[in-house]
Structure 1
Amino acid sequence: MAHTTTIPAPAKSVRLTGRIISIIVILFALFDAIMKIIKNHYSMEGSVALGWPASQVQFIGFVLLIATILYAIPRTAVLGAILITAYLGGAVAIMIRVAQPFWFPVLFGILTWAALYLQDNTIRGLIPVRKD
């Protein structure tokens, strides 16, 4: 017989913390995506300096915007988190390639999943943290 463990629902304060982290992730990602979509001078300059052709920066912004919208919708938040993680993986690779610090996209990815972990029992079941 298989052993199943019931995961208790997170406390309200834990869910609230997760929601606040999600909002921070969403706001930052929306800002980044919109700056790329509107071809903001600083966003374009930074992206080109990292090796992106200027003609692709706007498309990258749309990719991030779609992933962020999916993340913001509770029913599709996990899919959004997966897509944001993929986006951030590319950011880490680019930063390593140009010998720049890559801690921010790593931290941002951790926050993306930590927010869901704090709010969602399904995620808690997939990523168990044990006391033993």
Structure 2
Amino acid sequence: MSLSSSRIDTSSAPRSPEVLAPSTRVRWTARILTGLAVALLSFDTALKVFQLAPAVASAAELGFTPGAFWWIGLFEVGCLALYLIPRTAPLGALLWTGFLGGAIATHVRLDNPLFSHVLFPIYVAILLWLPLWLRDARVRAMAGPVAR
């Protein structure tokens, strides 16, 4: 018996909603949200990598040296590159989420305002994960079934 004859034909099998491709409206919503997230994170990354004045001032306020912020910026470049490649986007989002958790810890340590500083990384994480959930069946599968 050959391998090709032992395969099961699933072409006519019903597909679950998680496997079906998202609608055009959902895809465009995901693209727009991804664009917003990428624009925000690209701006933040550029400030750090190019050692612009706002980043240097922010580094001092947060207790980091400008050199440390440069390395953080390079890490952000890597996370952003992974997030922009569809196949590695979930890994990029996961790394960004860990990075944003560190930002939350830094703001909590400095007793910064809750909604504008401490929770802002959570808003960014939602902006990263929501479009992935909308467009990527792998992410929807990791999140588990949605109760209806």
Structures share fold, TM-score greater than 0.5: yes
Q: Distance in 1 between matches of 2:125 and 2:145?
A: 18
Structure 1 position 22 matched with structure 2 position 34: yes
Question: TM-score when scaled to structure 2?
Answer: 0.81
Structure 1 position 74 matched with structure 2 position 86: yes
- How many corresponding residue pairs? 128
| Unpaired segments ≥5 residues, structure 1 | none
**Could you say what secondary structure the match of 1:52 adopts?**
coil
Alpha-carbon displacement from aligned partner over 1:53-81 (angstroms, at most 9, x marks no partner): 22211000110111011101111111111
Which of residues 127, 133, 136 is equivalent to 1:117? 133
The one-letter amino acid of 2:129's match is: W
| Unpaired segments ≥5 residues, structure 2 | 1-14
Return the structure number with greater relative CO, CA threshold 8 A, min gap 6. Answer: 1
Which of residues 82, 88, 91 is equivalent to 2:103? 91
Which of residues 35, 51, 63 is equivalent to 2:75? 63
The one-letter amino acid of 2:59's match is: S
The one-letter amino acid of 1:105's match is: P
Displacement of 1:19 in angstroms is: 1.2
Q: Distance in 1 between matches of 2:133 and 2:71?
A: 30
Question: TM-score when scaled to structure 1?
Answer: 0.90
Structure 1 position 38 matched with structure 2 position 50: yes
Displacement of 1:130 in angstroms is: 2.2
Which of residues 105, 121, 134 is equivalent to 1:105? 121
Query: Which has the greater radius of gyration?
Result: 2
Q: Distance in 1 between matches of 2:92 and 2:77?
A: 10
Q: Distance in 2 between matches of 1:57 and 1:12?
A: 39
Q: CA RMSD in A?
A: 1.4
